[in-house]
Amino acid sequence: MDDWQRILQESLRTPEEISERFGLDLEEVRKISRAFKIQITPYYASLIRKKGDPIYKQVVPDVAELAENSGEDDPLEEDLDSPVPSIVHRYPDRVLFLVSHSCASYCRFCTRKRKVGDANKIHPRYIEDGLDYIKDHPEVRDVILSGGDPLILSDEKIESIVSQVRAIPHVEIIRIGTRVPCYLPQRITEELVNRLKKYHPLYINVHFNHPDEITPEAARALNMLADAGIPLGNQTVLLKGINDDVETMRKLMQKLLTVRVRPYYIYQADYVKGTEHFRTTVEKGLEIYQGLRGWTSGLAVPQYVIDAPGGGGKIPLIPEYVQSITDEKVVMRNYAGEIFVYPQVKRAKRRKPRPQPPCYAGESQRI
Ligand SMILES: *Cc1c(COP(=O)(O)O)cnc(C)c1O
Ligand code: SF4
């Protein structure tokens, strides 16, 4: 057994283990675990410094998850865009391919709460159907392996899926979405990386939400992936009490760049049942974007997006930098709030056409 498999096996998962380790009411933990799987790798649990800190909140269950007052089971209506159970085909040229039903640890705010951790929802036999669907749809040039977490599968299984997708002539790029470098960085091994790098162009998007998650172990995993020529992006979820302030987000984005990860998206938390306690206002997201843009490297500024409820896809939100646009000028404010004016290009007025003088090559340069 590999080191990472042993670590994964030693994860905290039973209500008894969880309630004992974190001093929680056993009956409550049992109730929560029936609604959404609980699992925490010993590695990630070791990053917790105190009860209720940003690491703790992401994985330790809270009774607030049982609140039924608001939120949807499938806010993004992914099921309506699923021609086969393992495929979400929402955009014209790319698909999500759900290949795994497990994660290394379970995020309490997960959008796919009702799917992950349940072997019957994302079953291995659906992988065949997914491959057939992609083969039958020549417009699909970008395949995003997702789940669950694809990198929780065995080396053989991962390579089998990636190689079969790569063999489809119209698939130009393959992406993998994974939280493994954050929850279980030991899973990024020489063996895995050597297998993956045979299938370029391959991109990996990782998921870090707090600067404390970027440990020496995570840095090692990320550098190995980058050394294999895999461009790395990061997706962060904006979460109340975890990263909903400019200072934390700026530190996170800057730290990601030091381990060769380019921040890609900050997601507004989805409207999912049992995650209300993690949601922030949209103004908070705009404030964070504004606190990054211009104040630090442009490379450290991800897009802030809302995955629109009802299946509208990701919609970017940008604070208002343009104050007014007329035919004469554009009035803008910069990152620090100072006002600047850009003169518009003169547009030909639509009056009656006047006879034009003959034009000689080079004339305009003579003056
Ligand atoms: C996020 C997402 C994608 C990928 O979107 P990009 O903006 O290209 O990264 C594709 N399909 C679905 C259903 C998604 O939710
Ligand atoms: S790693 Fe991703 S799929 Fe798994 S629980 Fe977290 S958010 Fe959900």
Q: Is residue 361 part of a domain?
A: no
pLDDT digits (tens, 9 = 90+) for 39-59: 999 999 999 999 999 999 999
pLDDT digits (tens, 9 = 90+) for 217-235: 999 999 999 999 999 999 9
| pTM: predicted TM-score of the whole model, two decimal places | 0.93
pLDDT value, residue 70: 67
pLDDT value, residue 25: 97
Q: Domains in the chain: how many in total?
A: 3
The mean-pLDDT minimum among 2-6, 112-116, 315-319 falls in 112-116
pLDDT value, residue 81: 87
What is the pLDDT confidence band of residue 11, given thresholds at 50, 70 and 90?
very high
Q: 270, 308 in Cβ contact below 8 A?
A: no
Q: Is residue 343 part of a domain?
A: yes
Q: 115, 121 in Cβ contact below 8 A?
A: yes
| CA pair distance 162, 86, nearest whole angstrom | 15
User: Is 142 marked active-site?
Assistant: no
- In the structure encoding, which two tokens stand for residue 37, read together? 């799987």
pLDDT digits (tens, 9 = 90+) for 140-184: 999 999 989 999 999 999 999 999 999 999 999 999 999 999 999
- CA 334 centroid distance within chain: 28
Pairing label, strands 94-98, 87-88: antiparallel
Q: Is residue 356 part of a domain?
A: no
Choose which residue among 39, 57, 106, 182 to substitute to test ligand 2 binding: the one with the highest number of ligand atoms within 8 A of its C-beta.
Answer: 106
pLDDT digits (tens, 9 = 90+) for 334-354: 999 999 999 999 987 666 666
pLDDT value, residue 366: 36
Q: Is residue 360 part of a domain?
A: no
Which ligand number lies closest to the CA of residue 179?
Answer: 2
144 and 269 co-located in one domain: yes
Residue span of the structural domain in which 347 resides: 321-351
Q: Which residue has the tokens 């009956």?
A: 27
Q: Is residue 328 part of a domain?
A: yes
Domain boundary among 66, 93, 109: 66
Q: Is residue 134 part of a domain?
A: yes
User: Is 354 marked active-site?
Assistant: no
Backbone torsions φ then ψ of 311, nearest 5 degrees: 90, 25
35 and 88 co-located in one domain: no
What rounded mean pLDDT belongs to the chain? 93
Domain boundary among 18, 39, 66: 66
Q: Is residue 53 part of a domain?
A: yes
| Beta-carbon-side half-sphere exposure of residue 294 (alpha carbons within 13 Å) | 13
Q: What percent of the chain has pLDDT over 70?
A: 93
311 and 330 co-located in one domain: no
Report DSSP state, residue 122: S
217 and 335 co-located in one domain: no
142 and 280 co-located in one domain: yes
13 and 159 co-located in one domain: no
Q: Which residue has the tokens 């993956």?
A: 196
142 and 34 co-located in one domain: no
Domain boundary among 289, 316, 343: 316
| CA pair distance 24, 61, nearest whole angstrom | 9
Q: Is residue 364 part of a domain?
A: no
d(CA 104, ligand 2 centre) in Å: 9
Backbone torsions φ then ψ of 79, nearest 5 degrees: -60, -30
Choose which residue among 108, 149, 238, 267 to substitute to test ligand 2 binding: the one with the highest number of ligand atoms within 8 A of its C-beta.
Answer: 149
Q: 122, 100 in Cβ contact below 8 A?
A: yes
User: Is 203 marked active-site?
Assistant: no
